[in-house]
Amino acid sequence: MTAPAGPVRRAAAWGVHAFTASSAAAGILAVLAAERGAARTALAWMAYSLAVDSIDGTLARAVEVKRVLPMVDGTRLDDIVDYFTYVIVPALFLLQLDLLPAGIAVPVALCPVLASAIGFSRADAKTPDHFFTGFPSYWNIVAFYLWALGWSRVANAAVVVAFSIAVFVPIRYVYPSRTTALRPLTVALGIVWGAAVLAVLARPGLPSGVVLASLGFPVYYVLLSFALHASREPG
């Protein structure tokens, strides 16, 4: 029989859950910033949520939250927070920052909201060998690039609709912190990419080439996902 967790371990487990939940608060702050037209502030709060999501799972496993606090479902908490911060908040950002065509902005913004609601609910949304099934609703990253690249509203709408469809295409995408293939390289490139994104948000005068160069990691991520998907054993 497993011995009950001590107060320090329980406090640490509650701390991890609070850390995960803090992303939801950051999402509210991102929405408020977007309503004021403060795009960089809104994106900075979205970046905070992305950073939390990148490390909270590792922390949860380290302190064994499932054993220490069995009454709290950390996976459910993570999914609730992720749907809000990765889907709802970016959709509102696209609307508030006027990045979609007038007249169809709301229907287009609702495409990821509806598609990802189903995507998050799939039984195979995360596979046992640590892949995501279908485009993994990285709408915060999509929103960043649609804002930073300065494309036309029509082009932005086409991108949003295309990725919404991709949610339903059963391609396996890399789970950056858990997929074993090339994980050290993926994590290292992800850290460099995160630094580049923060630099873009912090320094308005940076050359546009920095934004274009930062696209290297998303391109690497997609190509690696496609390659691993194509090479997997059939069935």
Interatomic CA distance for residues 49 and 19, integer angstroms: 10
Buried residues in 189-206 as b, exposed as e (16+ CB within 10 A): bbeebbebbeebbeeeee
Answer for the pair 22, 49: CB distance below 8 angstroms, yes or no.
no
| Apex 91 CA angle, 179 and 154, nearest 5 | 105
What is the DSSP secondary structure assignment for residue 92, as one 8-state letter?
H
Q: Which two tokens stand for residue 101?
A: 């065509």
Per-residue pLDDT of the chain (235 residues; tens, 9 = 90+): 455 668 898 999 999 999 999 999 999 999 999 999 999 999 999 999 999 999 998 999 999 999 999 999 989 999 999 999 999 999 999 999 999 999 999 999 999 999 999 999 999 999 999 999 999 999 999 999 999 999 999 999 999 999 999 999 999 999 998 899 999 999 999 999 999 999 999 988 888 889 999 999 999 999 999 999 999 855 4
Q: Where are the domains of the chain?
A: 7-231
CA neighbor of 18 nearest in space, from 30, 7, 10, 6: 10
Global pTM value: 0.93
